[in-house]
Chains A and B, each alone.
Chain A
Amino acid sequence: MQSSRPAEAARFDRPLLLSPGKDLRGYIFNKLGRAFLFLVTFVSVVAVLLIFYFIIREAAGFLAGPYVKQFFTSASWYPESHEHPEFGVLAIVAGTVYVTVLALLIAVPLGLLAAVWLSDIATFKVRQFIKPVIEILAAIPSVAFGFFAVLVMAPWMQTHLGYDTGTNVLNAGIILAVMALPTIISVAEDSLSAVGMEIREAAYGLGSTRAEAMIRVVIPAGHSGIIAAIILGMMRAVGETMVVWMASGNASQIPSPWWDLSQSVRTMTATIAGDMGETVQGSVHYQSLFSIGILLLVFTFGLNLMSEHFLARVRKGKGA
C-alpha cells in the first residue's frame, strides 16, 4: 500500500491535537499506549532470549565438563552405560545430515518444477485447485506422516524392497521430502512470480522456448528466493522430530557402506525426543541432550539468518 500513496498527500501519521501543551491527557495516553504495545511486541524478543538462555543454562554443566571433546569428536553414543558412558554426537549429526540431504535431493527438483508450473504454466483455474492441495499437504501434522511411515511405508519396504528394517534412511528421507515440498514450492513460486514480466517477455522475444526462458533466465533471476526456499525446506527437515523419530529406526550409527540407505540412523531431534524420558533431571545425559538442543538451535538460527538475507534481497528486488 505504501507505493500507491501519492507523494503530495497530507500526512495523517500523527493525529492533530497531541502536543503535550494542548492535549496532555491524550498525549500521555498515546505514549502509554505505545509503550504497552511495544512491551507486548517485545515478548517475542524476550522469548527468543529466554529460549537461548534456558537451553544453554541446562547444557552448561555438560559443556564445561569432561565430555565436551568426546562430544564433538566421537561417533559412539552410549549415554546410559554405567562404567563408560560415551557422548559422541557425530553419528547422530550424520543421521540428521543423511535424512536431510536425501529429503532435499528429492524435494528440491520436484519442488522447483512444481513452482515453475504454478508460476508460469498452469492456468488460473487449475492453480486455484492446486494451491489448497499444497496447503493441505503442509497442514497434515507431522505425527500423521510419522504414522504413515511406520504403518504403511515400513511394511511396504520390508515386503517389496526386501529390507531388513522398514524404518530407515530412505523411509525418513522420503517422508521428510514430502513435508518439505510445500515450503519449497510456495517460497520458490513467490520468488519466481516476483521476477518481472518484462524479463520473461524479453527472453521470449529473443526466441527462446519456455524451458529455455525458465532455466536460463527466470530461475537465475530468481535465484535468491530459490535459495531461500531450499534453506527453509532444509530447516523444516532438520527440525522435524516426530517423523524421524518414528521412521528413521533410531540406531545411532553411520551407515556403512555410506550409500546404503536401507540402514537405520538416529537424528538429533529424535535423540532428544527419545532419550529425554529416560534421563534423570540434571544428569550428564540430560545435559548432553540440551547440548544437542544447542546444536540444533545454532544450526537453525544460522540457516534462518541466511534465508532472511536472501529473502530481503528478493524484497529489495536484487534477486528479481
Chain B
Amino acid sequence: MKLMKRLMAGTVAGVLLATLYVSATRAADAPAPAPAAGVNTFNRLMKPKSERNPPPMQDGIHDPSNEGTGLLQPPKEAFKELPEISSGNYVDWVQALGKQLIKPRYDRKNPNEEPVVLDLDIVREVKGTMPDVVYPHDRHTMWLDCSNCHPDIFIPEKGKNQISMAMILMGQKCGVCHGKVAFPVAECRKCHSKKKDGSGGGKPAAQAEPAKKPAK
C-alpha cells in the first residue's frame, strides 16, 4: 500500500516537472514579439500637429448631422495668424492680444473701451526646487476685472492665500482658469519663472505686451 502511494506521488511529481520543463522550453523558443511600427508616433496624449484643433464636424462633440454644425468656424481658420504654444488651444492668447492680432472688446457694446490695467507683479516663493512664481497682474487685468478673482478666489492680502499645485489641479485658486480655459499647468515655466538665486528676470518668458514693465 505504502509502495503504491509512493509510486503515485512519484508519477504525479514527474508529470508536473515534465510539463513545467516543456512549458519553460516553449516560452524560451517562442519568438520575441516584433516591435510595433512607429512606436514613437503612438502616444494618445501627444497628438500630432495635424490632429490639433479639429473642425466642428470632426471634433467628436458636435453633431455632424446637425445643420448648424457646418456653419461654425473651424478653430484652425481663426488661429492661422496667432502665435503658438504647445498646449491648450495651441494659441498664445496673451501674446496675440499684446501684438493686437486679436482685438477683443473690453465692453459688451463699446468697442473703444480700454481695460484698466494694473501693473503689479506678485512674487511667491515656492518651497521646492522649482523657480519662484511671478504673478503678473498686468496680463490678467488685460482680460479680467478685479472682482473676477478678488476676494472670492484670492484674498487680496499678502500671506493670506495658501496655494499648492494639488489645489490648482483640483480646479481651485489658479486652477479655476488654468487647466480649463487659460494655459494649462503643463506650461510650468510660464509661472515658475524667477530663479531662486535671484538671477532670473522675474517676468515670464512670453514678453507679451508692448513695453511698460516695472523696474524690479
Do these two chains really belong together in a complex? no
- Chain B residues packing against A (C-beta within 8 Å): none
